[in-house]
Structure 1
């Protein structure tokens, strides 16, 4: 399968794009392989499990993007969002926990109101504000219980940056259920097309209407979640094995476009490769670049590269001191006085030894004869 190779010259402002035919072809091949592997696994098992048949339709498909330079300098605990044409979380059994600003009762009333869509309301199993969260879920056991109560956690963007301190490693050790930011505030008023500052009134809560809150929640749930780290590799879930190839291809195009526009510095010039894969499959290429660097300063000459030595098993301090302290010259070994050889004495010793050996041999032969 030949991947798309849209070349972007160094310093060029040209916009590269993935080939939709190549994306569709890779999607078809990947889905066919996953289904074939699942069927083979089911045939080999002695007992047929109906739950396994359902799980085979929900095998995740991942989009892997590789860049020439790191996308960010440090890991971001707050997931990013990219809108998808085909939602990953449209299952009615997918539950949602909504973490809001205070007061909690106001947002519970919004979710319970008639303006809030009933289908979405059924999926929201818990609404908790920041104050209650801090009071009730600071302990590990309580955090574990909350972690298992919902599939998706949404956090009001006014409190989202304070959640890692409360929820800790229970939520932020992996990217599985990190709270996703959502805007629950009222929309700023506009005058002549320009946004104006909100007028704070005592006793009123700065929140959108039930319909506006529902729209923001639905938008977040239907998005792909992106966890950015200081790395050249980024993986994003974009579909399932039970989907059609066209659905997978549509989401691939949306995620690639979103990543380029929002987060990848220098956009296509910084892109190296794009693949799709399953959890246990080979990655299938969609797009590859012909340039391995962005500009000439990324290329190190051979003589300069040879000067760079790996710091293996040495501390920085010892390396710095090594440059300042000159190597001490090795001391010459003191030679031992060897007495001169006496050839006459040595010849006499050899002769005496031979005489003794002849006598011993004669004595032994005589003893055998007797």
Structure 2
């Protein structure tokens, strides 16, 4: 697998895209610091670099019902999880708050899990936007038991879910989840997974995360490489820079690292100038 994806996606291509995005982000932050009126616009984005993928066909519904964990070589959390303020969400039926606390205590406890919330409490106590915003700001990351994950978008809202919730199984998997990202396959052909974070992961670490994520994504999607149309890298509010696009030269099946050098240079230059 490693040889296959590095043959298809050259490291130099990924490096240029990552460096262009980081330079664009730095320039934007410097520009916004000189124009306070743009702070509200800046808040619309986030600090994550995304690996976006476009499939050739809409994925089966079974693959879109719950997020897929994507292990990363470098964590996107700003600190080790033991020093962070984490919230664990349980369904309250198959896994109750009491059983979750007992399970954590049996393994020595996790000092970073400061609160366990049931879905029913989320529904009753966090209905308004303001209450959800307060919850959003109260924790560094959110986790959920596997059976609670599919219900979270309706309870918390899609924006909260995509930006803040990192969901996993319980107990010993918390540490593993802290070194992972999520792939939420959409009902369409386009999806994305976080692979870097401004101020947390450096350029070389992001590149390694990109390849780790690609390996896992290819395992998940139907038909593996044959089912993937293209990969891009982007911030939520930046241009999407292509790093792989499927080509069919001469009418035969095949892949290419990029559509062409001219197009690549044009896209990368646009990201630098924006």
Name structure 1 gaps, 5 residues minimum: 1-5, 9-13, 185-212, 297-370
**Residue 183 of structure 2 corresponds to residue 226 of structure 1:** yes
| Contact 1:72/1:228 (8 A) holds in 2 | no
Q: Which is richer in helix?
A: 2
2:29 alignment partner in structure 1: 38
Larger Rg: 1
**How far 1:246 sits from its partner (Å)?**
0.7
Other structure's SS at 1:33 match: helix
**CA deviation string 1:1-33 (max 9, x = no partner):** xxxxx9x9xxxxx99632122111211121112
Which of the numbers 153, 157, 167 marks the counterpart of 1:180?
A: 167
Instruction: Please state which structure has a larger fraction of its residues in strand.
Output: 2
Task: Give runs of aligned pairs for residues 94-109 of structure 1, distance below 5 A.
Answer: 94-99=85-90, 101-102=94-95, 104-109=97-102
Distance 1:178 1:32, change over 3 A: closer
Q: How high is the TM-score relative to the length of structure 1? A: 0.53
- Does 2:126 correspond to 1:126? no
Query: How many residues are aligned here?
Result: 238
Task: For residues 19-67 of structure 1, give each alpha carbon's deviation from its aligned partner in whole angstroms, at most 9, with x where no partner exists.
Answer: 1221112111211121122212223x269x9xxx9x9xx7221111112
1:163-242 alignment to 2 at 5 Å? 164=151, 169-174=154-159, 175-176=161-162, 180-182=167-169, 184=170, 213=171, 215-242=172-199
8 Å Cα contact 1:90-1:222 kept in structure 2: no
Please list every run of at least 4 consecutive aligned residues from structure 1 whose deviation after the TM superposition is greater than 6 angstroms: none
Contact 2:166–2:177 (8 Å) recurs in 1: no
Answering whether residue 207 of structure 2 is matched by residue 249 of structure 1, we say: yes
From 52, 57, 62, the counterpart of 1:69? 57
Higher relative contact order (CA 8 A, sep 6+): 2
Q: Deviation string for 1:156-195 (max 9, x for gaps)?
A: 33x437x62xx6723254442567241x4xxxxxxxxxxx
Question: 1:315 aligns to what?
Answer: none
The aligned runs of 1:1-370 (5 Å cut-off) are 17-43=8-34, 45=35, 59-73=47-61, 76-91=64-79, 92-99=83-90, 101-102=94-95, 104-112=97-105, 115-117=108-110, 121-122=111-112, 124-128=113-117, 133-134=119-120, 136-139=121-124, 141=126, 145=131, 148=136, 149-150=138-139, 152-157=141-146, 159-160=147-148, 164=151, 169-174=154-159, 175-176=161-162, 180-182=167-169, 184=170, 213=171, 215-242=172-199, 243-262=201-220, 264-291=221-248
- CA 1:33–1:168 in 2, change beyond 3 Å: closer, same or farther? closer
Tell me how far apart the structure 2 counterparts of residues 82 and 41 of structure 1 sit (CA, whole Å).
33
Q: Per the alignment, in what secondary structure is the counterpart of residue 185 of structure 2?
A: coil
Whether the 8 Å contact between 1:137 and 1:143 is mirrored in structure 2 is: no
